[in-house]
Amino acid sequence: MSALLDLLRRHYGLVLVFISGLLVQLMINLASSWLEMTIGQTPSRLVQLLVFGVIVAVVLWALSLALQSKVPLVPLNERPPHMAGLVALVGTGDPKDEPARLALDYHLEGEPGLQACWLIASKGATGSLPTALALYEQYKDRCKLEICSISDAFDLQEVYEMVRQIYEKKAPEAGVQSSQVITDFTGGTAPMTAGAALACGDEYPMQYYTGRQPGIVSTPLWVQFRPRQGS
């Protein structure tokens, strides 16, 4: 069903022409025939314009809701596979709007099912630790969850070392293969994102959430990095 909606969204203009040029006219003809049979030919003509306006308004309203309200930006073949482990950077926003929450939901819903997650959050009065704690309380009963705190959200090296530690030590201890752990670097500061990306490089999978705007489905993009080979 989702694939069909994606196809319809891509060809929204053609769908609209089809609806207005064929289906609406068919519905009007059926309504007119029913009116003529019910109240006679002359009165039915007086009502036909009103029926026409109502039908067009309802059809266009329903079509707009179905095709425009939530538009995913990333095709299915460019989304990451569901993983058993997740590393997610946590920002200072509202927990319900945090990309880390979206990443948790995405990998919990798929197969093989999320087994362990590590939330990287910063300490301090303006840090993201409170947001990570709120996410922990919400998801602690659904998978193994650990908050990995860093002292400085702008220390690229500290984030790099933390991500490497998760892949090399924490994931094996949790019974998850490193190759089955994906890092979501959407949240956090720019240095946190850079540190996480450098730690993964071309060795570990990464993802990034696109379309975090009203009216657009926020969808994960599978980031596949390949370094340039020397000549």
pTM, 2 dp: 0.69
Amino acid at 80: P
- Say what the pLDDT of residue 212 is: 58
The pLDDT score that the predictor gives to residue 218 is: 79
For residues 1 and 68, what is the distance between their CA atoms, to the nearest angstrom? 16
Q: Residue 35: its pLDDT value, please?
A: 58
Those residues of the chain that have pLDDT short of 50 are 67-69
The pLDDT score that the predictor gives to residue 188 is 94
Q: Whole-angstrom Cα distance, residue 73 to residue 71?
A: 6
pLDDT score for 26: 64
Q: What is the pLDDT of residues 158-205, one digit of tens each?
A: 999 999 999 999 999 999 999 999 999 999 999 999 999 999 999 999
Per-residue buried b or exposed e for 132-141, using 16+ beta carbons within 10 Å of the residue's own CB: bebbbeebee
As given in the structure block, the two tokens for residue 142 are 């659904």
CA–CA separation, 156 and 120 (whole Å): 13
Q: Which residue has the tokens 């919400």?
A: 138
Helix segments in 11-40, DSSP class H: 12-18, 24-39
Determine the angle formed by the axes of helices 41-68 and 24-39, rounding to 10 degrees.
Answer: 150
